[in-house]
Structure 1
Amino acid sequence: MCGIYGSTILYTESQVKDKLQRTAFRGPDQMGSQFYKSDHYAIALGHNRLSIIDLDARSNQPLSYLEHIEIVFNGEIYNFKDIKESLHKKGYTFKTTSDTEVICAAYLEYGEDCVNHFNGMFAFVIYDKMKHQFFGARDRLGQKPFYYYHNGKDFEFASQVSSIQLYNNDLSISEHAIHTYLTWGTIPDPLSIFNKIHKLLPGYSFIYDLKTGDFKSKRYWDIDTTNKNKFTGSYNEAQTELKKLLSNAVKIRMFADVPVGVFLSGGVDSSIVAAMAANTYEGKIKTFSVKFNDKGFDESVYAAKVANHLQTEHNIIECNYNEGLDLIDNFHHYYDEPFADSSAIPSMLLAKHTKKQVTVAISGDAGDESFSGYHRYNWINQGAMFMHIPYPVRLILSKLTALAPHYRLKIISEYMAFRSIESIYIDSMTDYSLSTREDNKSLIEVNELKYLINKNKNLLERVSDFDLKTYLNWDINTKVDRASMAYSLEARAPLMDYRIVEFARSLPTEFKFKRNNQKRILKDVLYQFVPKQYFDRPKAGFAIPFENWFRTDLKDYVLTELSKEGLQEIPGINVSDVTNRITKHMNGSANNYDLIWKLLVLKQWLKNNRGYEIR
């Protein structure tokens, strides 16, 4: 895993070096750049390398293949050995043992279709000297980031927006992106915080014509929206198939020329990954978890129990308050854009200390999206029952229920006033109360809504599809990539293997969610390795005790940064309403820590990016 960069803009060698240096934490083992000129254009390619496979300098990038292919690549192709063997039979030769060369050879053999042969997480750009073009792609689920600037002629790309931002004088901050951030808590693809910088969508490839400046992207993969690709076997047969897929997905992600470990929270997803890893690895696998001393936030005891059962070499990382505060102060440097998921802080702490022992960590991300694991799937399923009541009757019931003193009934009252179950789900995932914009509706009309309103599938399948395309990509993948790469740690996610995602999408809903038993099939596979009683407890998130910290140790910091004067520096928010909500949090009458964190992150980013016009 690394950082990539490229541009057709005539920056100096020193400027390109500065752009690479800005995100050198992504790949501290080697920084390389090359400049190329033709009669029609001049380009620069750059790379920050984190050496994982083939540690020899021969695999440094930009890497040349034959005489007309140059590549910069971030990520891993897990099935590269199989592809390499197939290409070798077709006459291709290789000088390294890395997966980078395999991408080049596959491109030459299969053209744009090469991406369909790759099982991995990746963002790469190939400079084809004969065709005078860039060909690039981003992995199916968006694990690896890809930002690009295109003004109709010039083209610049990077793993993080800050590399493009440096020395680029054609940028302005997007007010729409700020409002979208306030709504979603992150900036949805393909937007970025800057107007002329975009993200390549997951499952997309592109061609940029170096002569004409023309840029065209196209989708090469998507989840099945037709609901025609259905698994027709029995539940036991599905378990057998899932176990086989999981075993292979973990096995191919264990391959590396550096030490490998596993993130273990003690939950279902990380536990099944750890179990498969322990089953594959020769010797004791290293596992890592975070411990918080605050009551209600320490889940490390569950991770330790699973680790003991699997006989792993377990490491518990204690969260130090001052260390957490340091991460908050430097948050903008690693995340580059406003990002409101506060679990990024414990994720960074976990990565920081895990890196001391390993360079690759296997995670359990994507189990909830594929196997219906989130709490909200349960209540949205229950709430759907109210939607059968005619809307005028629901409005009356809503007003009557609102008078009840119980909080749960008040929530039900609010939901009964919505016209559709889909609008309830969107409301639960967003917050547009912060914005003073009149066109708030536009902030939630993302292209991915088509997965939520897809009439070919039932409600639970639709919300899962929607989360795979939004929450997993916009939030989880951003969080994990930036948190891990901040400390030069590669994070791999077996449950994001596209074969597992596609298999999960094909399963009958009751295989995943039956009588409130969420992640049913995943649990039943797990129980073949770890006793069921270890997981007889409520599902826990990966949280930091900000609710208490904002009222105690961080109170002065919050009140200073988010004073009325400070809030007025944030465009388009309702200052009086926000101030009132902060006051309620501080006096304990409400828990608004998520709102406070969201605004602190945005305020910090804006403060460190003064001088740009906001429009």
Structure 2
Amino acid sequence: MCGIYGITYSKYTSEQISEKLKRMDFRGPDQSAQKTFDNRIVFGHNRLSIIDLDPRSNQPFAFEEKIHIVFNGEIYNFKILKSELIKKGYQFRTESDTEVICAAYLEFGENLPNKLNGMFAFVIYDSINNRLFGARDRLGQKPFYYLLNRDGFEFASQLSTIQKYNSNLTISRKSITQYFAWGVVPDPYTIFNEVQKLPAGNCFTLDLDSNSLNITQYWDINNERNELFTGTYQEAKSALSELVQDAVKIRLYADVPVGVFLSGGIDSSLVAAMAQTTTNSQVKTFSVKFNEKGFDESVYAQKVANHLKTDHHVISCNYNEGLDLIDSFSHYYDEPFADSSAIPSMLLSKYTRKQVTVALSGDGGDEMFIGYQRYHWMKQVSALYKTPKQFRHITAFLLNALPHYKLKTIAKGLRFDDLDSLYLASVTGIDASWIQTDYDYLNVSERSYLEHNDKNIYERMSDFDIKAYLNWDINTKVDRATMAYSLEGRAPLMDYRVVELAQSLPTHFKYRGSKQKIILKDILYDHVPQEYFNRPKAGFTMPFSDWFRKELKDMVLSELNDDGLHQIPNINVSEVKLRIKQHMEGSWNRYPLIWKLLVLKQWLNKNGQGYSIA
């Protein structure tokens, strides 16, 4: 796990590039280096040593003096690939996966990404063909930012690295609007008009003679139901169990200590169980607890840990430490990012790093196996969408007359034309009247995974979340939270083989009646008693709702006062003020909106000076 950087034209001095690398040195504190090729192309790298700790594997890395690479991530099948390449005559001088990528590029060319099982973002300088070739992993676990203009191409693992010493950027008004809706700036956009993200599952070639960039998609989820699993449920369970076991096993390989994030939920408990059965040593597991009532789930993690006999560690979160993380938030999440669970994720990573350098997580299970509560809520409301629109509107009118804000929210939801529109609204905000813009922030290409008729509504929602929420939000959150403390996060359930098998399973293997993630749970129950999980699903959240009314009230009211709100583009100030007032009075829980505005305001305070908004 590392930080990568590169530029194809002479714009910065060696000292400035060193400072650019220093801006993201938390991603790789073990070694930093830059190398210049042909007097104009520069590659830079910050290394977090995970596999083959010897300096021989430091980057930028050269292979047979034909190609050079900077690489961020891990390739979990590199040993298998290496064996195949040795049979083809390739010779290796390291034990790293980096060298294997280089040899595989010479062997497979642009088909290389399809050969890799891992999380990655890399760029290869192919001096033979005078081009750059790069790729980002299938689900977007590793970030890749780039800037292309008439002078050349610049790329990095962090947006702030490209931003540093670059005064020619403009803040994107459209991206701010997208952020208000999605809570993130969705791919391929960034907060700056001139910088983009390489989409997940895509690779590129840059012709260095013409400075022309060609981006192609090498992998995607199956948008149709033409490759269904044809076996029995037990056969599917056996196949999935074996696959998850292997996905965990290959992610336990490292030359540094490895642990597991354990929340006590289904997905992380399954990963911990598989890890404990795979290794002969006692697995280290980590969870976080909060002192506030209703937010402490650590007791469930402890129960699972006791059953699995892991070496379990509980990290306590208090108000002061949470406040410190809020203050440093934009340094790591270097464009606005409003998922408040990033804060406990950072705290968990901070203390986990004191004992291990790699941590496995259960991320991906909800998206792959129809596990979010909103899927079940959509099922419940779908019956109303089979009734005439007029009946729904009457129901909405009656609900809106009741005093509870949740009923008023449901009333707004019943006014949408169809379930697809309702689902988009449920993830972007049922009530967006506070956003003041003519820009259609719902116009993202990922909508095509939701708005078609080849799958049922539950599979389409799942597909959309894999392409949008998992990529834009979850993977960004985890990458930045872990890398802020030089901790590598690995997600076995995001192994593309698990994704493809999950995609092929009949819906009723995953979701039936009121039961969600059925097959994943049944695999877990072979390792941990089912009664441990007989409780409502809980999210990984902070007690911000209370904090904004108490400990953080002064911060909210000072940052989001009249002057502060008028500095924020694209909002209806009077509507926002009303919502803040509702929250402070306790009549409506508006903490997601307040947090979203605070994050943007903090980012603008630290980054807005000198940049125009266009």
TM-score band, normalised by the shorter chain? over 0.9
Structure 2 stretches lacking a partner, 5+ long: none
Amino acid in the other structure paired with 2:231: G
Aligned residue for 1:550, secondary structure, equals helix
Give the alignment partner of residue 375 of structure 2, picking from 374, 377, 381. Answer: 377
- Calculate the TM-score normalised by the size of structure 1: 0.98
Aligned match of 2:308: 310
Structure 1 residues 176 and 405 mapped into 2: Cα distance closer, same or farther (>3 Å)?
closer
Structure-1 separation of matches of 2:305 and 2:510: 25
Amino acid in the other structure paired with 1:598: K
Asked if the contact 1:182/1:434 (under 8 Å) is kept, the reply is no
Structure-1 separation of matches of 2:143 and 2:414: 39
1:236-267 Cα offsets, whole Å, 9 max, x none, are 10100010000000000000000000000000
Identity value in percent: 61
Give the alignment partner of residue 60 of structure 1, picking from 52, 58, 72. Answer: 58
Aligned match of 1:154: 152
1:183-214 Cα offsets, whole Å, 9 max, x none, are 11100000000001000000000001111110
Aligned match of 2:19: 18
Asked if the contact 1:134/1:209 (under 8 Å) is kept, the reply is yes
Question: 1:153 deviation in Å?
Answer: 4.1
Structure-1 separation of matches of 2:122 and 2:520: 32
Aligned match of 2:509: 511
Of 378-387 and 47-56, the range deviating more from structure 2 = 378-387
Aligned match of 2:569: 571
1:314-358 Cα offsets, whole Å, 9 max, x none, are 000001221111110011101000000000000000000000000
Aligned residue for 2:437, secondary structure, equals coil
Structure-1 separation of matches of 2:211 and 2:48: 31
Question: 1:407 deviation in Å?
Answer: 6.0
Amino acid in the other structure paired with 2:36: F
The number of equivalent residue pairs is 610
Question: 1:227 deviation in Å?
Answer: 1.1
Aligned match of 1:240: 238
Asked if the contact 1:231/1:508 (under 8 Å) is kept, the reply is yes
Structure-2 separation of matches of 1:408 and 1:514: 26
1:344-394 Cα offsets, whole Å, 9 max, x none, are 000000000000000000000000000111000001112222222233443
Structure-1 separation of matches of 2:354 and 2:403: 52
Question: 1:307 deviation in Å?
Answer: 0.2
Aligned match of 1:476: 474
Asked if the contact 1:262/1:363 (under 8 Å) is kept, the reply is yes
Aligned match of 2:434: 434
Question: 1:29 deviation in Å?
Answer: 0.1
Asked if the contact 1:291/1:299 (under 8 Å) is kept, the reply is yes
Structure-2 separation of matches of 1:178 and 1:395: 32
Aligned match of 1:37: 38
Q: Does 1:186 align with 2:184?
A: yes
Aligned match of 1:421: 419
Give the alignment partner of residue 354 of structure 2, picking from 356, 368, 378. Answer: 356
Structure 2 matches for 1:65-464, cutoff 5 A?
65-403=63-401, 410-431=408-429, 432-439=432-439, 442-464=440-462
Aligned residue for 2:313, secondary structure, equals strand
Structure 1 stretches lacking a partner, 5+ long: none
Amino acid in the other structure paired with 2:293: K
- Calculate the TM-score normalised by the size of structure 2: 0.98
Give the alignment partner of residue 534 of structure 2, picking from 533, 536, 556. Answer: 536
Amino acid in the other structure paired with 1:9: Y
Question: 1:155 deviation in Å?
Answer: 0.4
Structure-2 separation of matches of 1:153 and 1:235: 57
Asked if the contact 2:549/2:583 (under 8 Å) is kept, the reply is yes
Of 238-247 and 167-176, the range deviating more from structure 2 = 167-176
Question: 1:433 deviation in Å?
Answer: 2.8
Asked if the contact 1:153/1:212 (under 8 Å) is kept, the reply is no
Asked if the contact 1:292/1:298 (under 8 Å) is kept, the reply is yes
Question: 1:397 deviation in Å?
Answer: 4.1
Structure 1 residues 537 and 424 mapped into 2: Cα distance closer, same or farther (>3 Å)?
same
Asked if the contact 2:288/2:348 (under 8 Å) is kept, the reply is yes
Aligned residue for 1:330, secondary structure, equals helix
Amino acid in the other structure paired with 1:486: A
Structure-2 separation of matches of 1:399 and 1:552: 34
Aligned match of 2:613: 614
Aligned residue for 1:167, secondary structure, equals coil
Aligned match of 2:7: 7
Structure-2 separation of matches of 1:587 and 1:386: 33
Aligned match of 2:555: 557
Aligned residue for 1:5, secondary structure, equals strand
Amino acid in the other structure paired with 1:101: E
